[in-house]
Structure 1
C-alpha cells in the first residue's frame, strides 16, 4: 500500500501527499526531474519519505494557479 493511499483529506477523499509522477500529471505532464527540481527549489512544498519525494496536493494546485495567473502589463515592464 502506498503512503499516498493512506493519508487522505477527509473532505475530498484525495491523498494529502502525492508522488513526483502524480504531481507531474497534475501539472500537464511535467517530467519527474522537473518536479524534483521544483521540490528542491522550494517552489513545491514537499519532503522526502525515505528516498522518495512526497508533495502536498494543495501545493501542486497553488503552484498551478501561480503559473497560470497573468501579470498585468504595467508590472511586466
Structure 2
C-alpha cells in the first residue's frame, strides 16, 4: 500500500468564494480519508486535498463532486499524486 493524495480545485464565480468554501467543507465522502485539508487562494479558488492508503493512483477512491455549475467558473480540476515518502 502507498499513500495517495487527491487534489480537488475549483474557482468560484464572482463573489461566491465564501459559498464555494462552505460547500466544499460540508461535503462528506463515502469514507474517511487519513487526512483532509481545505485551503483557499486569491481569485476565489478553493483547494481540497485528501490523503488515502491505497494500492496506487488508479485506486477507486471517493472524491468531491462538481459544485452547481452557476457556482464555478470552469470545471473542477483534479489531480492524483503518490507519496514518495
TM value normalised by structure 1: 0.26
Structure with greater Cα Rg: 1
The structure whose residues are more often helix, as a share, is 1
Higher relative contact order (CA 8 A, sep 6+): 2
TM value normalised by structure 2: 0.24
